[in-house]
């Protein structure tokens, strides 16, 4: 099979992760050009991985007829515009989450995608995490019968800086969006209503920035099943990423990953490792797997499993949760659409 030629837009932390995975863990690709409005970042990444072409704008990437596909790893506010232009240019797109903070812009982007023949995949990498993927597959194999209750725990090890919070779109669009997608993915059902209870319990600067740091979100599914997502911006013991699905025939549970499977038994306690602390450690394999799927979909003309619709629905859920928290009442998704 011919090597796929890729352009990478955005050379920040997540762009670097994808470049490294593509070149060292996946293969079968060539990264033709990297762009970043902070040109130094693009240069630095390109140098580390022996990539020849670098530019400030992404135009050079979209205009290069040799490039088959692009990764959109730039800031959120650029995602929808780049998606539209890239779709028109016939480039396959892997787009980091969220597609945009505005439903209108998301819809414009998805429309452009639909008109084209391109593959479009959204970066909900957690679907590819071995723990969650196994649970998703076990649900589909009906190992627990019909799902009734879903519990998602998602707690960050430490809060982001206030400056980031201000432009993040809020906790639901920035952090819970992964959990909203997980809620839909894990039992393959649509959510119809959202109730969000929130708190400012950690950092007053987050409140000043107009956001919350703690949340418990209840989701009702079409099937009648219920889900609770709990979020905190600060778990001292590390990155807490757990999941549970309860159904008519049993329960599936994912606990946290640790660096080792060792314990120390002393006169004080029996203790084991803390959960993996950093999201790049925790989701190492899921970042590789989502990119592997994207490459494979482009190469073999398959449809990516994480669609534009998935990206849109997660954003709609985030919007509904925000409205629910503001108005302190359950919000139906039909109120958002």
Decide whether 104 or 268 has the Cβ nearer to a copy of itself.
268
With beta carbons less than 8 A apart as the criterion, state whether 122 and 95 touch. Answer: yes
Q: Does 24 bind a copy of itself (CB under 8 A)?
A: yes
Decide whether 249 or 302 has the Cβ nearer to a copy of itself.
249
Angle value at C-alpha 233, between 227 and 235, nearest 5 degrees: 95
The alpha carbon torsion through 93, 114, 191, 319 (nearest 10 deg) reads 70
Segment interacting with a copy of itself (CB under 8 A) among 1-9, 79-87, 178-186, 243-251: 243-251
Structure tokens belonging to residue 44: 């630095």
* Cβ count near 305 (within 10 Å): 15
With beta carbons less than 8 A apart as the criterion, state whether 213 and 200 touch. Answer: yes
Q: Does 149 bind a copy of itself (CB under 8 A)?
A: yes
Q: Rule CB under 8 A: which of 207-226 touch a copy of itself?
A: 214-216, 218, 220, 224-226
Query: Beta 147-155 vs 240-247: how paired, if at all?
Result: antiparallel
Q: Rule CB under 8 A: which of 316-335 touch a copy of itself?
A: 328-330
Decide whether 101 or 227 has the Cβ nearer to a copy of itself.
227
CB of 224 to a copy of itself, least distance (A): 5
Number of residues engaging a copy of itself in binding (CB under 8 A): 71
Distance CA 43, CA 118 (A): 28
Q: Does 3 bind a copy of itself (CB under 8 A)?
A: no
Q: Does 255 bind a copy of itself (CB under 8 A)?
A: yes
Among 63, 114, 188, 271, binds a copy of itself (CB under 8 A): 271
Structure tokens belonging to residue 285: 């394999």
CB of 85 to a copy of itself, least distance (A): 34
CB of 177 to a copy of itself, least distance (A): 19
> Is the bond preceding residue 277 a cis peptide, omega within 30 degrees?
no
Distance CA 291, CA 18 (A): 7
Answer left, alpha or beta for residue 305, where phi above 0 means left and psi between -120 and 50 means alpha.
Answer: alpha
Task: Tell me the torsion sign for CA atoms 322, 315, 128, 5.
Answer: negative
Q: Does 205 bind a copy of itself (CB under 8 A)?
A: no
> Residues 179-198 vs a copy of itself: string with x where CB under 8 A?
----------------x-x-
Q: How far is CA 60 from the centre of its chain?
A: 27
Q: Does 134 bind a copy of itself (CB under 8 A)?
A: yes
CB of 207 to a copy of itself, least distance (A): 11
* Cβ count near 5 (within 10 Å): 16
CB of 23 to a copy of itself, least distance (A): 9
Q: Does 230 bind a copy of itself (CB under 8 A)?
A: yes
Decide whether 136 or 311 has the Cβ nearer to a copy of itself.
136
Q: Does 135 bind a copy of itself (CB under 8 A)?
A: yes
Distance CA 312, CA 125 (A): 16
């Amino acid at each position: 099979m011919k090597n796929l030629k890729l352009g990478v837009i955005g050379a920040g932390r997540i762009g670097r992760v994808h470049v490294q995975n593509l070149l060292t863990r996946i293969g079968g690709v060539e990264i033709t050009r990297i762009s970043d409005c902070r040109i130094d970042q693009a240069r630095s990444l390109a140098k580390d991985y022996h990539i020849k072409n670098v530019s400030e704008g992404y135009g050079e990437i979209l205009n290069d007829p040799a490039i088959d596909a692009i990764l959109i790893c730039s800031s959120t506010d650029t995602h929808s515009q780049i998606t539209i232009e890239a779709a028109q240019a016939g480039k396959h797109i892997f787009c980091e989450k969220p597609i945009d903070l505005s439903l209108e812009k998301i819809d414009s982007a998805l429309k452009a995608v639909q008109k084209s023949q391109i593959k479009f995949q959204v970066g909900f990498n957690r679907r590819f995490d071995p723990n969650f993927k196994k649970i998703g597959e076990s649900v589909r194999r009906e190992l627990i019968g019909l799902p009734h209750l879903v519990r998602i725990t998602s707690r960050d090890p430490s809060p982001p800086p206030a400056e980031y919070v201000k432009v993040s779109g809020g906790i639901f669009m920035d952090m819970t969006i992964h959990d909203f997608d997980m809620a839909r993915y894990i039992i393959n059902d649509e959510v119809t209503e959202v109730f969000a209870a929130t708190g400012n319990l950690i950092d007053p600067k987050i409140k000043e920035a107009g956001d919350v740091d703690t949340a418990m979100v209840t989701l009702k599914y079409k099937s009648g099943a219920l889900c609770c997502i709990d979020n905190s911006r600060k778990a001292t013991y590390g990155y807490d990423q757990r999941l549970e699905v309860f159904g008519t025939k049993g329960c599936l549970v994912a606990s946290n990953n640790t660096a080792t499977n060792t314990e120390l038994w002393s006169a004080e306690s029996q203790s084991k490792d803390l959960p993996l602390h950093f999201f790049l450690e925790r989701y190492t394999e899921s970042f590789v797997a989502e990119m592997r799927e994207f490459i494979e979909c482009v190469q073999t003309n398959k449809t990516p499993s994480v669609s534009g619709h998935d990206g849109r629905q997660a954003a709609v859920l985030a919007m509904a949760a925000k409205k629910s928290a503001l108005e302190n009442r359950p919000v139906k998704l039909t109120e958002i659409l």
